[in-house]
Chain A
Amino acid sequence: MADQVGATNLRSLWRVFRRNRMALVGLFMLGAMIFTAVFAPQIAPHDPDEVIRISIDDIYAKPGANHLLGTDDAGRDVLSNFIYGARVSLTVGFFAAAISVFIGATVGIFAGFYGGRVENLLMRFTDIMLVIPDLPLAIVLVALTKPRLSNIIIVIGILGWTGTARLIRSQTLAVKQRKFVLRARAIGAGNWHIIRRHIFPLVLPLIVVNTVLAISLAILAESTLSFIGLGDPTTLSWGQMLNYAFGRGAMSSGALWALITPGLGIVWVVLACTLLGQGLEQMLNPRTEWHHLSVGAEMVDREQIARHAAMREEASLGAAPTGSPASG
């Protein structure tokens, strides 16, 4: 059952990861977009803030040598807007996902670990949050606060954690059942120690997967809010590009590039996150892949795993470590 004897955790993880083509593609897609966002000033052909004099020809200009993807209603370069927009969308995605996963994981771990009344309270609260429709509430909250980017991030963050909480809770429940937690109790360890050393490291992979998926959800949510006009007017996200193009006659002018470009950006990132997230999930899920980081492998189907292990041992991928000293 040890197909990575002696290898470090990370390296063995990478070896498994490399075999998953879907995850690799997702990682590459996401990496490319992050690169674009980080090096936007170097990549973008035009500065979005540059003051331009526009003539009527510059509005919704067709893609050409000067404007590779044409211009928008204000005569700005769509490609440059798109590149800078990646910064906004990804920022919202990462920060909002971080907030929602943080809340979700905390609620999930505490509910799962303590059980009883704590669990009841936390999970009923989660259920309430779950049944409130996110989008109307987000609209209300954003409308009530100032439409600043930070507010949007917070609103998306505090509305998106329920799924994570439920998932992490069930995983915590499963980990809590395992014998090494009982062993930790038997040596006198307290709750905090057990959560920190035994529960958290084992739910961490799930948290990572969830974060990746949460990023795509947050980007979608931000785009939705911006598209209906609740975005931060001082920044230009992909959602806002869509909003402007849609509201200012891109369709009727036949300037499809102003609509398709930001749309493709959203699809690109969401697809990247989904692929990466699913790939990671597959990799860490004991049902589909064998890795010792696959949390709770043994809980899923002890017998099947035992057979699996026996098989591997038969194949001698490591019953006993080589060169280990005789003991006894």
Chain B
Amino acid sequence: MSKATMQPEPDSPILEVTDLRKLFPVKKVRLFGAKDRFVHAVDGVSFQVGHGEVLALVGESGCGKSTLALTLMGLEKPTSGDILFEGDSLASQNSRGLKTWRRHIQMVFQDPYESLNPLMTIGDIVAEPLVVHGIAPNREEREARVIRALEDSGLKPATEYLHRLPHELSGGQRQRVVIAGALVLEPTVLLADEPVSMLDVSIRAEILNLLADLRQKRGISILFITHDMGTIAHFADRIAVMYLGRIVEIGQTLEVLSNPQHPYTKALLSVVPVPNPRLRRERIILQGETPNPIDLPSGCRFHPRCPVAFEQCPVVDPRLLSIGDQDEIPHAAACLLVNAESQPVP
């Protein structure tokens, strides 16, 4: 991405991802000179997250958003590119540095039924990060921290929950436990991977409000990964839309929602159900499904499903370029229709 497209935030970013790539080799039966093939899970992604900012990463399954999260956690090694956390490079971390890294960046997983060990009590689960990092070795202090994290996550009074097992809690309560387990280390960045998609609607709102609250009170930056535009419209500062390993559009939430540029963003927005039968509208339903990230389409990756593709699209790979005013927080999209100037001179 060119420098011009991504103005730095007023203060320096807490997380900076530059041209990140993560390819997984595909196991192959090698006959004569078979080429190595790769799953292009994340393929050249750059973005920044500011202090206390909520950035939503939106995309369907297979767009690489979950791999991106794992790479940010240092759980997958990037193939190329780098991630800077407060100026520190992930690539230069040794195993101890990586452990500290994981103390500052915490993750909340999608499935609260799966991400808690069924045999551990809630107290032990929330205390585990402290044990692992050797923080607060003193028992009372540890318990105090666990209680604080549980109450901050909305499980009050915390003492009622300490000795329960996960199966005794409802889905919403479990997700709160997961969040408490992340908060107990007092991280500065939270990666939330579809944290509400498995929950009932009334519970969803509670969890979203809790996350918004944490951002406000603690200034935690949140990278919110989701496939549902509806859930993040309310509290994300910026939205980045991903398709097949790339960001196709990024910008301020309201700007992206009200003035989407990329045809994929437009389609995604059009299929978000509106809870009012009077506002039933034309949906742009893309046919087929996301192609597999091994055999990528030529040119623009979206062109086989794009309702407005034209003859240049299979040929030219559009770059993510800024639209309109340069001094605002930039709104960028990777589409030939939007950025005619990005076509290379023949």
Seen from chain A, the residues whose Cβ lies within 8 Å of a Cβ on chain B are 1-2, 5-6, 9, 178-180, 182-190, 193, 197-198, 201-202, 292-293, 298, 318-321, 324-325, 327-328
Cβ contact of A2, chosen from B98, B110, B120, B167, cutoff 8 A: B167
Are the CB atoms of B128 and A197 closer together than 8 Å? yes
Verify A324–B181 contact, CB threshold 8 A. no
Which of A6, A182, A319, A325 contacts B170, CB < 8 Å?
A: A319
Verify B115–A292 contact, CB threshold 8 A. Answer: no
B181: contacting residue among A187, A319, A320, CB under 8 A: A187
How many angstroms from the CA of A186 to the CA of B167 in the assembled complex?
A: 22
Chain A residues within 8 Å of B113, by CB: 298
Say whether, besides A185-B75, A201-B119, A320-B170, A179 and B132 are in contact (CB < 8 Å): no
Indicate if the CB atoms of A180 and B168 lie closer than 8 Å.
no
Cβ contacts B85-124/A at 8 Å (1 or 0 each):
0000000000000110011001101110111111110000
B128, A292: Cβ atoms under 8 Å? no
Contact call B156/A327, Cβ cutoff below 8 A: yes
Known A182-B75, A188-B132: A328·B120 in contact at CB below 8 Å: no
A327 with B155: CB separation less than 8 A = yes
| Chain A residue contacts of B116, Cβ below 8 A | 180, 183
The distance in angstroms between the C-alpha atoms of A321 and B111, with both chains bound, is 20
Query: How far is B168's CA from A9's CA once the two chains are assembled, in angstroms?
Result: 12
A-B contact pairs, 28 of them (CB 8 A): A2-B167, A2-B168, A5-B168, A179-B111, A180-B114, A180-B115, A182-B109, A183-B115, A183-B181, A187-B102, A187-B128, A187-B129, A187-B132, A187-B133, A187-B185, A188-B99, A189-B128, A197-B128, A202-B117, A202-B118, A293-B119, A298-B113, A319-B170, A320-B170, A321-B170, A327-B154, A328-B154, A328-B206
Alpha-carbon distance A187/B167, docked complex (angstroms) = 22
B144 contacts chain A at the CB level, 8 A cutoff: no
List 9 A-B pairs, minimum CB-CB distance, nearest first. Answer: A179-B114, A188-B102, A179-B115, A328-B206, A187-B129, A327-B154, A292-B167, A186-B107, A180-B117
Q: Mark B126-137, 1 if CB is under 8 A from A, else 0.
A: 001100110000
Q: Other than the known A9-B165, A325-B156, A327-B154, what 15 A-B pairs have Cβ atoms closer than 8 Å? A: A1-B167, A5-B168, A183-B178, A184-B132, A186-B73, A187-B181, A188-B99, A190-B132, A202-B119, A293-B118, A324-B160, A325-B157, A327-B156, A327-B176, A327-B206
- Do A186 and B106 touch across chains, with their CB atoms under 8 A apart? yes
Instruction: Return the contact of A193 from the options B107, B132, B155, B164 (Cβ within 8 A).
Output: B132
The residues of B with any CB-CB pair to A shorter than 8 Å are 73, 75, 98-99, 102-103, 106-107, 109-111, 113-120, 128-129, 132-133, 154-157, 160, 164-165, 167-170, 173, 176, 178, 181-182, 185, 206, 209-210
B214 to chain A, nearest CB (A): 13
CA distance A198 to B132 in the complex (A): 13
A318 B168 Cβ-Cβ under 8 A: yes
Most buried by B among A318, A320, A327: A327
B189 to chain A, nearest CB (A): 12
Which of A1, A2, A180 has the most B CB atoms < 10 Å from its CB? A180
Report A245 CB to chain B, min CB distance, Å: 49
Shortest distance between the CB of A286 and any CB in chain B (Å): 11
CB distance from B71 to the nearest CB of A (A): 12
Q: Which of B102, B110, B117, B170 has the largest count of A CB atoms less than 10 A from its CB? A: B117
Q: Which of B119, B133, B182, B210 is most buried by chain A, counting CB atoms within 10 A of its CB? A: B119
- Tell me if A178 and B114 are in contact (CB < 8 A): yes
Cα A328 to Cα B107 with chains together (Å): 21
CB of B118 within 8 A of CB of A325, answer no
A173 to chain B, nearest CB (A): 16
B210's nearest neighbour on chain A, judged by CB, is A328
Smallest distance from the beta carbon of A317 to chain B beta carbons, Å? Answer: 11
A136 to B102, CA, bound (A): 54
Determine if B109 and A321 form an interchain contact, defined as CB atoms under 8 angstroms apart.
Answer: no
Of all chain B residues, the one with the shortest Cβ separation from A298 is B114
Contacts of B75 in A (CB 8 A): 182, 185-186
Shortest CB–CB separation between residue A201 and chain B, in angstroms? 5
Whether B106 lies near A179 (C-beta < 8 A) is no
Tell me the minimal C-beta distance from A198 to chain B in angstroms: 6
Q: Assuming A202-B119, A318-B168, A328-B206, is B132 touching A189 (CB within 8 A)?
A: yes
Minimal beta-carbon separation of A94 from chain B (angstroms): 26
CB distance from A284 to the nearest CB of B (A): 12
The interface centre, meaning the residue of A187, A189, A321 with most chain B CB atoms within 10 A of its CB, is A187
The CA-CA distance from A179 to B98 in the complex, in Å, is: 20
* Residue on B nearest A189 in the bound complex, by CB: B132
Q: Is the CB of A197 within 8 A of B120?
A: yes
Q: A221 CA to B120 CA in the complex, in Å? A: 39
Q: How far is the CA of A183 from the CA of B114 in the complex (A)?
A: 10
Q: Select A188's contact among B129, B154, B209, beta carbons within 8 Å.
A: B129
With known contacts A179-B109, A188-B99, A328–B168 Cβ distance under 8 A: no
| With A179-B111, A182-B75: A187-B106 Cβ-Cβ less than 8 Å | yes
Residue of A nearest to B73 (CB): A186
Complex contacts, A179 vs chain B, CB 8 Å? 109-111, 114-115
Residues of B near A190 (CB, < 8 A) are: 132
Chain A residues positioned under 8 Å from B210 (CB to CB): 328
Residues of A near B182 (CB, < 8 A) are 187
Chain A residue numbers with a CB within 8 Å of B98 are: 188
> Please, how many angstroms separate the alpha-carbon atoms of A9 and B111 in the complex?
24
Contacts of B176 in A (CB 8 A): 327
Task: Quote the shortest CB–CB distance from B148 to chain A (angstroms).
Answer: 15
Instruction: Tell me the complex Cα distance, A183–B120, Å.
Output: 14
- Measured in the bound complex, the distance between the Cα atoms of B132 and A321 in whole Å is 30
Query: Which B residues are CB-close (under 8 A) to A201?
Result: 117, 119-120
A198–B119 Cα distance when bound, in Å, is 9
Q: Could you tell me the distance between the alpha carbons of A190 and B165 in the complex, rounded to whole angstroms?
A: 24
Min CB–CB distance A115 → chain B (angstroms): 14
A185 to B117, CA, bound (A): 13
Give complex CA distance A268, B23 in Å: 59
B154, A292: Cβ atoms under 8 Å?
no
> Roughly how many angstroms separate A1 CA and B168 CA in the complex, as a whole number?
8
